[in-house]
């Protein structure tokens, strides 16, 4: 039964618990056993919550007593180690924060618990959440469960690896440029970056640059993402960017009364070179939506050719991130890993360039506003390549060499603009590695991409595919 439980999604586990077919104790223990079995090789988990089984026993007692149960009652969840968890270590991927134990939960953790979820463990991340891979001086490197020689991405790579490997059914990650969607794509799971501010960032570090940071759910099914989003979204009275209630949705809903208009992009110049398997997967997803009644056509978004979102993101974040990081690392320079050092080595942005970057970010928002006058959604790659080797400095794609930072070119525009975007698996590479596609909708229109993702998942050729970990 344990092997069956670790492959169920959170929605199914909650149903099994609610109907008393399994107990929360069985579910939590199954996932703890899975962590013991596979994490020594994957290294996704940095801390197991000491009271997880105690919480499971309390959840079991509530079921037996006939108490009112939340939608995630008794279901374990994990959280990236930048997200505060009361009484459980939150060390931010750095020896500087070794032993740090928060007194309060982040809003997202508190909301998961309020829904009945049980905090199982914290997951690995790069130092200070600032890199495209998951490695640090405190807890080391996380490996991709599909191929241990490949990265699960970053910065929520520990979370994505844990969920993909069956160590957790659902979890929380954060995203400033790629960090939920990229890891989800590279490990074959689903990840959502909702409209900026939809889900409060309270209790998550770093907070700068605040206008670009997001927090979102990661899971193996779209229905789990939709459930988590419904629990996590909405103001908390502490995050000033979190203002819109969940009920405020401008999307098509779950039962659209007209064909959904979808544009797709795979070869527009801003993307740079894209691996052939990735391009084929995006086109297949577009054709699948067309076959299910959507109005689908190739799209062109001029502003993406005119402005490099990744470049402007770096220009803006450098001037805000460096002072914040230096404040925390003062006196601990010997404990800085290469990723934060890379932030420090980034040249300062002149005031002229900073103002221009701010104006470019506004122009990007205008450009997408114009696009969404004609379309309900956009589909494009998440990353230009499937999971790559650890510590790769560059890739060769279609004969062209590009920096490893190129992996963020398709995700950065939606962090800069705050548009909702999600990744879901829809194919595999010739090497058997998962490939995700990215769905984007207008601001506050999450129901559109959740609906489209549900459609795609129903016909996905990789819906039930999972990594083979029998050898480890």
466 domain residue, yes or no: no
> What is the pLDDT at residue 255?
83
12 domain residue, yes or no: yes
Q: Is the pLDDT of residue 1 over 70?
A: no
Whose structure tokens read 């908390």? 236
pLDDT digits (tens, 9 = 90+) for 122-149: 999 999 999 999 999 999 999 999 999 9
List all residues 6 or more positions away from 289 whose beta carbon is below 8 Å from its beta carbon. 260, 262, 296, 379, 452, 455, 456
54 domain residue, yes or no: yes
pLDDT band at 268 (very low <50, low <70, confident <90, very high): confident
Q: Is 179 labeled as catalytic in the residue annotation?
A: yes
467 domain residue, yes or no: no
Q: Is 80 labeled as catalytic in the residue annotation?
A: yes
181 domain residue, yes or no: yes
468 domain residue, yes or no: no
Q: Does residue 206 sit in helix, strand or coil?
A: coil
pLDDT band at 472 (very low <50, low <70, confident <90, very high): confident
Average pLDDT, the chain: 97
CA distances for 317 relative to 48, 207, 343, angstroms:
32, 11, 9
Domain count, the chain: 1
469 domain residue, yes or no: no
Bridge partners for 397 per DSSP: 400
Which tops the pLDDT comparison, 471 or 279?
279
- CATH for 445: 3.90.1300.10
Q: At what angle do helices 10-18 and 222-232 cross, to 10 degrees?
A: 80
pTM, to two decimals: 0.98
Complete DSSP assignment for 137-185: TTT----BTTBTTB---SSSHHHHHHHHTTS-SEEEEEESSSTTHHHHH
Which domain covers residue 328, as residue numbers?
A: 2-459
374 domain residue, yes or no: yes
Q: Is the pLDDT of residue 2 over 80?
A: no
Spot the catalytic one: 23, 155, 242, 423: 155
pLDDT digits (tens, 9 = 90+) for 175-232: 999 999 999 999 999 999 999 999 999 999 999 999 999 999 999 999 999 999 999 9
Spot the catalytic one: 80, 113, 122, 315: 80
Spot the catalytic one: 82, 129, 179, 423: 179
């Amino acid at each position: 039964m344990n092997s069956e439980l670790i492959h169920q999604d959170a929605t199914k586990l909650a149903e099994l618990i609610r109907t008393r077919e399994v107990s929360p104790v069985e579910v939590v223990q199954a996932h703890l056993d899975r962590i013991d079995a596979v994490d020594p090789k994957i290294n996704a988990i940095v801390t197991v919550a000491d009271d997880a089984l105690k919480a499971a026993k309390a959840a079991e007692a509530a079921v037996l007593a006939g108490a009112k149960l939340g939608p995630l009652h008794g279901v374990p969840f994990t959280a990236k180690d930048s997200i505060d968890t009361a009484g459980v270590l939150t060390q931010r991927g750095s020896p500087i924060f070794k032993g740090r134990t928060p007194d309060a939960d982040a809003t997202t953790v508190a909301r998961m618990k309020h829904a009945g979820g049980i905090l199982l463990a914290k997951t690995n991340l790069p130092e200070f959440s600032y890199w495209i891979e998951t490695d640090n001086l405190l807890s080391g490197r996380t490996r991709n469960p599909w191929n241990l020689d490949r990265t699960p991405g970053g910065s929520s790579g520990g979370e994505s690896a844990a969920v993909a490997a069956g160590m957790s059914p659902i979890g929380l990650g954060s995203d400033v440029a790629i960090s939920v969607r990229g890891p989800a794509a590279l490990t074959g799971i689903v990840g959502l970056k909702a409209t900026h501010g939809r889900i409060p960032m309270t209790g998550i570090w770093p907070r700068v640059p605040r206008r670009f940071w997001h927090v979102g759910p990661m899971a193996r099914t779209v229905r789990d993402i939709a459930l988590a989003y419904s629990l996590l979204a909405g103001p908390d009275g502490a995050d000033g960017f979190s203002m819109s209630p969940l009920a405020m949705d401008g999307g098509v809903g779950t039962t659209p009364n007209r064909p959904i208009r979808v544009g797709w992009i795979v070869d527009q110049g801003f993307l740079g070179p894209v691996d052939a398997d990735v391009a084929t997967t995006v086109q297949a997803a577009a054709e699948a939506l067309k076959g299910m009644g959507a109005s689908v056509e190739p799209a062109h978004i001029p502003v993406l050719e005119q402005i490099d979102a990744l470049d402007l993101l770096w220009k803006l974040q450098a001037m805000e991130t460096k002072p914040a990081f230096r404040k925390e690392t003062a006196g601990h320079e010997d404990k800085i890993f290469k990723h934060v050092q890379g932030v420090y080595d980034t040249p300062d942005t002149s005031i002229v360039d900073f103002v221009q970057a701010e104006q470019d970010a506004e122009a990007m928002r205008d450009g997408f506003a114009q696009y969404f006058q004609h379309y309900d959604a956009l589909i494009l790659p998440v990353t230009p390549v499937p999971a790559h080797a650890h510590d790769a400095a560059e890739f060769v794609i279609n004969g062209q060499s590009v920096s490893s930072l190129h992996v963020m070119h398709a995700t950065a525009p939606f962090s800069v603009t705050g548009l909702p975007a999600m990744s879901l698996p829809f194919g595999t590479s010739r090497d058997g590695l998962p490939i995700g596609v990215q769905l984007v909708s207008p601001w506050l229109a999450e129901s559109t991409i959740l609906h489209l993702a549900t459609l795609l998942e129903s016909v996905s050729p990789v819906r039930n595919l999972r990594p083979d970990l029998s050898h480890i």
